[in-house]
Amino acid sequence: MCTSIIENARVQGMAKRGDEWFPLSQAVVAYDHARHAPLGDVITLDFINTNLDPGARAGIELTLETAKELRAALDRAIAAAEFEEAEVRGKGSCSASSELRDEFAAGTSGMRVSGACSGRGLGHP
Amino acid sequence: MSFYRGMTCENVTIKGDKATPITAYVARPSGSGPFPGVVLIHHLPGWSEFYIETTRRFAHYGYLAICANLYEREGGGSDGNPDDVAAKVRAEGGIADSQMVGDTEAAVRWMRAQADHNGKVGLVGSCSGGRHAFIYACQRKDINACVEQWGGRVVMAKEELNARTPVAPIDMTKDLSCPLLGLFGNDDRAPSPEQVNQHEAELKKHGKTYEFHRYDGAGHGFFYWHRPLYRPEQAMDGWSKILAFLGKHLAK
């Protein structure tokens, strides 16, 4: 394949090349024939900074299946991260975090949760 | 067929599109010539080892060969890692078709200025380079034969067109200026067999001189010996088709 399947995302962060880290400007997601992996067509992830030299790049080639697994892992981690962020904003916290996370994800958490965990969440007396 | 095991290889600087200096790799067979010329247009993975080696391969078969670095402007110079440079090009939306034409024209001009050149030039490209070779053959009249290997996006939907690729190559077919050889894998999806059929129908419609060869059991990039895409039997047959085609059209 010689596709035009290319998606760009602005990203803020850093990536590693060799022994050094460089600031990122962009992530490029593509589906095309692999350049290095001993595979046919792959999802390619390039974390790059086009303002720097072309070597400012962390490149990854994944099978479509494992790319889906990565996406699912990202979704799970992001859902958990958003829950944690919400805690900081005052929704509270408690040891039954997985249960609360489920409630949070389902949109059913609220004052009941905060009350149950009083004393642990930031900003709660 | 004569083989030229001796050759001289070097980087030269040519004046590319808008007079921008770019590097090109040259392989010159040993001997006095005159030699027919081959201009190679590299693929999306860039000015890669595969293309440098293929340039030498043409010299082995008695062609004066040149391959310009179409991604030179993206940085790295002649020593840049082709993978990284190609990734940068992809991130920035690819190179403009017009810039490719300007750079390739410079390589053709370089070829025609060589004392040991026989005055005939063939253009060869694969993948995006196959598409580019076809575009060049439609926009310029200074080459004698064109080899398009599995050129993707010759057929393009309107929504794929943009400032860098403003016209679908298939819509340039009426202007094709030289004989065309096309090699395609039937398992490829870009170009798909249906797109290859459309490509061929347009060539027929305009009465162009062409020959298409479609290979079963092969997909995209079946010449790439370093990739799982490699299909030795189909690739060797494809090479024989290329050498026969160029031998016919580039002989003096």
Q: DSSP 3-state assignment of B129?
A: helix
Chain B residue nearest residue A10, CA to CA? B91
Could you read off the pLDDT tens digit of each residue along chain B, which spans 252 residues? 679 999 999 999 999 999 999 999 999 999 989 999 999 999 999 999 999 999 999 999 999 999 999 999 987 777 888 999 999 999 888 999 999 999 999 999 999 999 999 999 999 999 999 999 999 999 999 999 999 999 999 999 999 999 999 999 999 999 999 999 999 999 999 999 999 999 999 999 999 999 999 999 999 999 999 899 999 999 999 999 999 999 999 998
Ordered DSSP codes for A40-75: SEEEEEEEE-TTS-TT-EEEEEE-HHHHHHHHHHHH
What pLDDT is recorded for position A120? 36
Residue with tokens 């974390």: A47
Domain with A41 in it: 5-62
ipTM: 0.71
Q: Is A2 on the interface with B (CB under 8 A)?
A: yes
Q: Tokens standing for B43?
A: 């693929």
Residue A42 lies in a domain: yes
- A49 shares its domain with A96: no
Same domain, A28 and A45: yes
Q: Are B75 and A53 in contact (CB under 8 A)?
A: yes
pLDDT at A106: 52
Cβ–Cβ contact B152 with A under 8 A: yes
Total count of domains within chain A: 2
Report CB contact under 8 Å: B91, A39: no
Residue A14 near residue A52 (C-beta atoms within 8 A): no
CA distance B186 to B191: 9
Residue A3: per-residue pLDDT: 74
CB of A38 within 8 Å of a chain B CB? The answer is yes
**A80 and A97, same structural domain?**
yes
CB contact under 8 A, B91 and A38: no
* Contacts with A38 from chain B: Cβ below 8 Å: 227-228
pLDDT along chain A (125 residues), means of 10: 85 93 96 89 95 93 97 96 81 52 48 37 34
pLDDT tens by residue, B204-243:
999 999 999 999 999 999 999 989 999 999 999 999 999 9
Question: Position B62: which residue type?
Answer: G
Measured between CA atoms, how close is B152 to chain A, in angstroms? 5
Instruction: State whether residue B169 sits within 8 Å of chain A by CB.
Output: no
A24 plus A47 within the same structural domain: yes
Q: Examine the domain organization and report whether A57 and A15 are in the same domain.
A: yes
Longest dimension (CA), chain B: 51
For residues A92 and B148, what is the distance between their CA atoms, to the nearest angstrom? 64
Contact by Cβ (8 Å): B96, B17? no
Burial letters for B177-216: b for 16+ Cβ neighbours within 10 Å, e otherwise?
bbbbbbbbbebbbbbbeebbeebbebbeeeebebeeebbe
Asked, for residue A39, whether it belongs to a domain, the answer is yes
Question: Is residue A47 located within the same domain as residue A72?
Answer: no
- Do A24 and A43 sit in the same domain of this protein? yes
Q: Is A1 on the interface with B (CB under 8 A)?
A: yes
pLDDT recorded at residue A80: 93
Q: Are residues A50 and A9 in the same domain?
A: yes
Backbone dihedral angles phi then psi of residue B37, each to the nearest 5 degrees = -110, 145
Q: Is the residue at A113 inside a domain?
A: no
Residues whose CB falls within 8 Å of the CB of residue B101, separated by 6 or more in sequence, listed in order: B17, B135, B136, B139, B140
Q: Is residue A54 part of a domain?
A: yes
User: What residues contact residue B95 under an 8 Å CB cut-off, 6+ apart?
Assistant: B70, B71, B89, B164
Q: Do B75 and A3 touch (CB under 8 A)?
A: no
Q: Are residues A89 and A57 in the same domain?
A: no
Q: Answer whether residue A121 is part of any domain.
A: no
Contact at CB, B87 and A2, closer than 8 angstroms = no
Check CB contact of B221 with chain A, cutoff 8 Å: yes
A123 domain-assigned: no
What letter would DSSP give residue A115? H
Q: By the 8 A CB rule, do B134 and B191 touch?
A: no
Closest CA to B182 of B174, B191, B65: B191
Picking from B42, B1, B223, B22, the residue whose alpha carbon sits closest to that of residue B124 is B42
- Whether residue B227 lies within 8 A of chain A, CB to CB, comes out as yes
List CB contacts of B246: < 8 A, sequence separation 6 or more.
B36, B38, B63, B122, B145, B147
- According to the model, what pLDDT value does residue A113 have? 38
Q: Say if residue A40 is in the same domain as residue A76.
A: no
Handedness of CA B70, B75, B79, B82 (dihedral sign): negative
C-beta of residue B145 within 8 angstroms of C-beta of residue B245: yes
Flag whether A114 is in a domain.
no
Terminal-residue alpha carbon distance, chain A: 60
Residues of chain A contacting B74 with CB distance shorter than 8 Å? 54
CB count, 10 Å around CB of B220?
A: 26
Q: Which of B200, B185, B34, B61 is nearest to B118 (CA)?
A: B34
**In the prediction, which pLDDT does B92 show?**
87
Domain membership flag for residue A116: no
* A48/B250 Cα distance (integer angstroms): 43
| Partner residue facing B188 (CB), from A1, A26, A36 | A1
Name the phi and psi angles at B190, rounded to 5: -150, 85
Please check whether residues A30 and A50 belong to one and the same domain. yes
pLDDT of residue A109: 42
Tokens 């030229």 -> residue: B4
Residues B215, B216, B219, B224, Cα dihedral to 10°: -60
Nearest chain B alpha carbon to A52: B75
Residues in chain B: 252
In this structure, the answer to whether residues A56 and A76 fall within a common structural domain is no
